[in-house]
Structure 1
Amino acid sequence: MRTWCEGAIRRCGMLLLAGLGLAGMSAARAASLDPAMLPKIQAATFEVVQAKPAGDPLSYERPLPLEQLPYQERTDKYYSIGTAFAIGHNRYVTAGHVLLAGADSLWGPPELRDAAGRVYPIGKIEKFSLGKDFVVFTLAQPPAGDAALAIETSPALNQVVYAVGNALGTGVVIRDGLYTSDTPEQENGAWKWMRFSAAASPGNSGGPLLDKDGKLIGVVLMKSANENLNYALPIHEVLDAPAGRAVMESRLAYQLDLFDTIQNGQLKAQFALPAGLGDFYREFQSRMDANSDAQLKALLAKESANLFPNGAGSARLLHQQTQLNGFPTLIVRGSDGEWRRVGEQTQYFALDGNGYVATGGVARNGLVRLRRPDGMAAATFYGDAKSRMDLLARTGMFQRAVAGEKVKITSLGKPVRESTHVDRWQRSWRIGVWPLPYANAFVVTYSLPVPDGSVMLVRFTPPSHEHDTMLDLDEISSFVHVTYQGTLAQWKDFLGNPALQPAALRNIRIGFDYDRRFSYASQRVAFSYPSSLQPVKPDNLLWLGFRFFLDGGKPVWDVGDVDIWKDSASDDHNNVNVQRYVAPPPGLDDDLSSRWRKLSERQYPYNAVARYENDLMMINAVVAPAGPPSTVLYTAFYGTAGTQPQADMKGKLDLLTKDMRVTEH
């Protein structure tokens, strides 16, 4: 995800608006501005507004309590997002980030609104600076008259100043304070900010800063992080900027939610002006997206030697025993350089028909496991993104706050965009993008089909960040650890649709003949067992423990554990298990070395002797490939509830290992 290191713009917030968080700041008291100046100042100063969405694709559990909103908020057809002002005939100025609020917005394009409520569409963009955060533009049909602010380019320090702007969407107000200092801009000190103490509110962005005589001296842009002082750009920086050019110069950073490394960079780009608003946004966004592409590429190149599954920090995860997890996890690198799986289930929502939604998250990324309800056809579930998302919405996880009340969103409707992404391990993710018009945001989901439903990555993002979000999730999807699980009935549906399956499953043959036999065969191991060992029924629960490991020195994603439970009932954990182990490198981990020694020497519990633990009888044996000693071994396991004689347990184990063959070394 791209972030801004310096400058006035902050693109990582949920809603990219002009709000500066300036409410509640104290202002130095001073003499009032000459009342004779007020009409001209008010005529030259405008709200920047965006039209509220005309329609709403969302469905709700009950009517929204819009009647409880304040009168102005519920009757205004526009969102007020900032301030602009006139500096000449049909020449207007506002903050760059106020204008950029309209990029790919789900609301209407930014427009100007005067005190009488008349709205004026923007015509052409004439000047723009990303680093200095301003824009000069025209209106398609400017208001009558030539109201413009008088300009002073060399204001004196410590004088009374006035911040003029849209206060919290309630119209343009004027507040006084002092011009306290000049502060070098943060990147290289190429120019100076004006700092002042006049109070400002969310929406003041882009408004004029006036001197004691009512002359324009700066553009209000942002607040100080630690003090009750605000920042303005000197107006001479706007006037002296090159005409007919959009200048994009800013320090940027890119970071993935996989490790702490940050890719810092300097964006330097330009394009010609004047341009209509739509063309301006397209030119701007294309350069921002290209910069993100380049930064991600540079970040991955920088990390290539230590990017999982490469580097010493990956070794433990590559050689650990296979973990079966009902909930997906994300592989991330900690500050100690070790890669590990993180992410826990934090909420569980039951659905009808044994379905459920389990949720958790890592950093900005939601993790979801969605079990398909028994009553929903597989074709509908896998083929209809709306149906899957409606199941999530049914849990109440999406809510809209209105007038202090939270109203459950019952459907997000159809996605506005759908596509697929095949990750590094040849797993095909279904991408869906859903609009939340009221929040000017998108919900982006990456959905991986699994036998019992879907595993999902979910992120909320501003519309202008859609490209960045998908860059991130394209990369992050390759770091998702997921167990493929489901009943044999669910596996039958899943195996019947090759388009749902990862490439690794194409080399695996799973067969089951109810009441007769189960079989599994891959390029690594093959085994089968009759129903006399464990009944083969539609409600058997089959888990394939996919994991990452090295094969001939090359990383692969393949099955390391096959587990078949007698059924899914919590009180009956009879199961058959075949598991892969690999010799750990020297010095990696004493526990791994100790386990490998026990396996190699067929020591307890891998000695084909039955044992009783936790109300279960269990028995293990080691199966090795034919030929000389191997660095790969498999275990065969059988467990059953209650107590059983050794001979019976050994007989069951023999049924499992009779036709078992290990074909890798």
Structure 2
Amino acid sequence: MRKTMRSLMGGEGLARILACGLALWLAAAAPATAASLDAALLPKIQGATFEVVAAKPADDPLTYEKPLPLDLLPFQERTDKYHSIGTAFAIGKNQFVTAGHVLLTGVDSLWGAPSLRDANGKIYPIDKIEKFDLRKDFVVFTVSGTPGPETLDVDTKPVLNQEVYAVGNALGTGVVIRDGLYTSDTPEQQDGAWKWMRFSAAASPGNSGGPLLNKEGKVIGVVLMKSANENLNYALQMGEVLNAPAQAVIDRRLPYRFDIFSTTLSNNLKGQFALPLGVGEFFKRYQSVFDGFVDSQLKEILAKDPDKLFPRGEGSDQLLYGASWLNTVPGLIVRNSTGEWGLVEKDGNRMSLAANGYVQAGVSGHNFLMHLRRPDTLPAAKLYGDPLALAEQLCKMGIFMRPIGSEQVRITSLGKPTTDTVYTDHSQRRWQLRVWAMPFANTRIITYSLPVPDGYAILMRFAAADDSYDNLADMRALLDYMSVGYEGSLAQWKDFLKNTSLLPDALKSVRIEADYQQRFSYSSNRVAFSVTPQLQKIEPESTLTLGMGFVPDHGKVVWDVNAISLRANPQEADRLHIERNVAPPASLDDDARSYWDKLVKRRHPYEATAFASDGETRIGAPATDAGTKSPAVMYSVFYAMAGSQAQDSMKPKLDMVMKDLKVSEQ
């Protein structure tokens, strides 16, 4: 889902904190004054206006490459124990108002629930929520403790073109007052159910939830949004706040998009429950409504045109009958605007690790798609069994940084994950779900890691804390549309196959045996063959790749092996490649039918004649179940060697393979 909880809040609080590296200055000085506001009103305004703050985490699970250079930060920022996230004001005895999106920064936050802080630095935890409206973006609440006696009077009938004053904790630098005009009213965007106030007084991130005053110092509105393109900002009239019922009203239209489609849903997040509630219980109830909406939108978008959802429908045929699924960097199966499904691969850059390890990472939307080749010095059992080992390798990529002033300090360890479980997708692949906290940014790192012979295939996202459920649900659904080939040296395959609890079901019917310099054999319920050193070297470094993906199987689609490639070693081109092929349906183009016809009739390149291609010599032939005359499944078998090779040297190689190869499906 690409409309996150934070984005529906208006995005001022946490968005700015993350973008600016948490550079907040929380001055507690007296408010700056606007020239025409009566100075006698200032003590009352100051006493009734509060910062909304969230506590900085006391413990940091992260480890850094060096001590944090906190001296680069302004004194106030490095010594303050709180982040400033907005503004609130008092309208009665222990009755306060702020923006709804400011309160919601506390949902599932690593910083805990927001509190109020007065000009003297005293903290008042939010206690009970008395009124809340998501669409109108306000909340009325009480606090624990006894703030000062000052409250602001309210004017529910403001007059257009009068002078107004925006009061708030602008940019986290302390409460300031800025003047302008109340210029106009404009209907709210969804269906014009009320009118926003537009005003020209300056408003900055941190102003959210502050009061908009008239020249008598009375509150006429709640400052909520900054205009993106002009200095005309938005406020909600106080009459809407005072006349609201004592309940939580959640009703806002949100776009919803799932990465495999080009279409977008637009439905209403809706819910309602009685107030007052303690702030913790309020967050639980709100989270339940929001999470239910995420689930319903995901279910709805996947239920649209179910007969055309991959792997069903003609739009899937090109991929089902034409892919070999050999990609080792995870690829995403997506549908384009014409209804055709295709495999999107983002190989990206390769970052070297120690001992022949590397991470190859691509980016698709909000997703990091990565292949981690484990260092030779890192045992498979250690990598799969210890999340700290995975985190250590990811940190070596240098993508986890903490901004401190003008510096970016590299994070070298993420500490223990807050979540460490296994999720099994529809293809019966076991993905290890690990979630790490980055408290300084109120962000979580989410990884779904699939064990493969040489390391991991990984889907990763950065998620603002309040977006965690959204991202987890989205990523979990995406796993069913991920393509990953299984590759590794024969030595790595031996280690990998020992981890039986993490193997996909498709490999449970596969038997792989390697007796170095003696014999390699592969067998499954579909095909079996063996290789001896007469054909090519069989060494610990020999590379075996299994293309594993979605394959047609007698009227069904299953996730299984459809391609097998065995290379002598990484330095040599000698290799054997065997690929499963299925008779194409009528929906496919002439190219697909021509390819199948070449297999059936043993035409080039399947006539067992050597030919040159890309600096090597290849020879190929088809293979079928010996008991059928009109096969629906055929295997293409190729052998390749570097350089120019004669037919007399290539044909015996192919014959060795074909003599021992057995196809057991028709």
Normalised to the residue count of structure 2, the TM-score between the two structures is 0.95
Kindly state the Cα deviation for residue 352 of structure 1 after the two structures are TM-superposed. Answer: 1.3
**Cα displacement (A) at 1:206:** 0.1
Q: Distance in 1 between matches of 2:394 and 2:631?
A: 47
8 Å CA contact 1:14, 1:461 repeated in 2? no
In 2, the alpha carbon distance for the partners of 1:19 and 1:234 equals 30
Q: Does 1:640 align with 2:644?
A: no
2: CA distance between counterparts of 1:10 and 1:420?
A: 35
SS of the residue corresponding to residue 599 of structure 2 reads helix
Match of 1:289 in 2: 291
Deviation at 1:17, TM superposition (A): 6.8
Aligned counterpart, 2:491: 489
Residue 26 of structure 1 corresponds to: none
**Which residue of 294, 298, 302 corresponds with 2:300?**
298
Q: Deviations over 1:274-313 (max 9, x none)?
A: 1111111111111111121111111111142222112222
Write out aligned runs for 1:228-377 (5 A): 228-243=231-246, 245-377=247-379
Q: CA deviation at 1:7?
A: 9.8
SS of residue in 2 equivalent to 1:153: coil
Letter in 2 for 1:528: S
1:222 to 221, 225, 234: 225
Q: What's the counterpart of residue 654 of structure 1? A: 655
Any idea what the Cα deviations from partners look like across 1:464-485, whole Å, max 9, x if unmatched? 2111111101110111111100
Structure 1 residue 566: deviation in Å? 0.1
Instruction: Please give the secondary structure, in 2, of the residue aligned with 1:291.
Output: helix
- Offset at residue 30 of structure 1 (A): 8.4
Give the length in aligned residue pairs. 654
Summarize deviations over 1:576-607 as a string: whole Å, max 9, x none: 11111122223522322222121111111110
Q: Distance in 2 between matches of 1:184 and 1:200?
A: 20
Q: Please point out which of 77, 88, 102 is paired with 1:73.
A: 77
Letter matched to residue 603 of structure 2: Q
Matched residue SS, 1:438: helix
For the Cα contact (< 8 Å) 2:223–2:235, is it kept in 1?
A: yes
Pick from 560, 563, 577: which aligns with 2:562? 560
Superimposed CA distance per residue, residues 120-171 of structure 1 (whole angstroms, 9 cap, x where no aligned partner): 11111111111111111111102142x1101100111111111010111111
Q: Is the CA contact (8 Å cut-off) linking 2:165 and 2:180 kept in structure 1?
A: yes
What amino acid is the match of 1:385?
Answer: P
Structure 2 CA distance for partners of 1:18 and 1:265, relative to 1, 3 Å:
farther
AA aligned to 2:636 is: T
The CA distance in 1 between the partners of 2:101 and 2:444, in whole Å, is 19
Q: Which residue number corresponds to residue 50 of structure 1?
A: 54
**Counterpart mapping for 1:327-476 below 5 A:** 327-476=329-478
Contact 1:176 1:199 in 2 (8 A): yes
Equivalent of residue 547 in structure 2, options 542, 545, 548: 545
Determine if the alignment matches structure 1 residue 610 to structure 2 residue 610.
Answer: yes
Q: 2:47·2:148 contact (CA, 8 Å) conserved in 1?
A: no
CA contact (8 A) 2:14 2:105 kept: no
Gaps in structure 1 of 5+ consecutive residues:
24-28
Compute the TM-score of the two structures, normalised by the length of structure 1: 0.95
CA separation in 2, counterparts of 1:69 and 1:7? 28
1:267 Cα offset (Å): 2.5
Structure 2 residue matching 1:3: 3-state secondary structure: coil
> Which among 162, 169, 172 is matched to residue 165 of structure 2?
162
Tell me if the contact between 1:58 and 1:413 (Cα under 8 Å) persists in the aligned partners. yes
Indicate if the aligned counterparts of 2:445 and 2:461 stay in contact, CA closer than 8 A.
yes
Give the structure 2 partner of residue 580 of structure 1: 580
Residues 525 and 643 (structure 1), Cα distance of their counterparts in 2 relative to 1, 3 Å cut: same
Once the 2 structures are TM-superposed, how far is the Cα of residue 8 of structure 1 from its aligned partner? Answer: 6.3
C-alpha separation in 1, matches of 2:360 and 2:13: 26
Q: Render the CA deviation track for 1:413-437: whole Å, top value 9, x for unaligned.
A: 1101111211111111000000011
Amino acid at match of 1:143: P
Q: Which structure 2 residue ranges, 5 or more long, are not aligned? A: 25-32
CA deviations over 1:540-577 (Å, ceiling 9, x no partner):
100001121221222211111100000012xx110011
Contact 2:12 2:205 in 1 (8 A): no
Tell whether 2:602 aligns with 1:598.
Answer: no
Instruction: Sort the Cα spacing of 1:271 and 1:202 in 2 relative to 1 into closer, same or farther, 3 A.
Output: same
Q: Work out whether 1:124 is the aligned partner of 2:125.
A: no
Map 1:156-195 → 2, pairs under 5 A: 156-195=159-198
> Judging changes above 3 Å, is the alpha-carbon distance between structure 1 residues 550 and 139 closer, same or farther for their aligned structure 2 residues?
same
| Letter of the 1:594 counterpart | S
- 2:6–2:467 Cα contact (<8 Å) kept: no
Q: Distance in 1 between matches of 2:224 and 2:508?
A: 57
Rounded Cα–Cα distance in structure 2 between residues aligned with 1:154 and 1:481: 61
CA drift of 1:5 comes to: 11
**Deviation readout 1:22-46 (Å, 9 max, x if unpaired):** x9xxxxx986111111110111001
Aligned partners of 2:115 and 2:124 also within 8 Å: yes
Partner AA of 1:616 in structure 2 = E
SS of residue in 2 equivalent to 1:168: helix
Contact 1:321-1:581 within 8 A present in 2 as well: no
Secondary structure of the residue that 2:605 maps to in structure 1?
coil
Deviation at 1:106, TM superposition (A): 1.1
Does structure 2 conserve the Cα–Cα contact (< 8 Å) formed by 1:160 and 1:177? yes
User: 3-state DSSP class of the match of 1:579?
Assistant: strand
* Cα distance between partner residues in 1 of 2:218 and 2:565: 78
Cα distance in structure 1, aligned partners of 2:354 and 2:270: 54
Given that residues 102 and 208 in structure 2 are in contact (C-alpha distance below 8 angstroms), is that contact kept between their aligned partners in structure 1? yes
**Cα distance in 1, alignment partners of residues 19 and 162 from structure 2:** 27
Q: Tell me, what secondary structure is at the counterpart of 1:101?
A: helix
Distance 1:591 1:461, change over 3 A: same
Q: Structure 1 residues 408 and 18, CA, compared in 2 at 3 Å: closer, same or farther?
A: closer
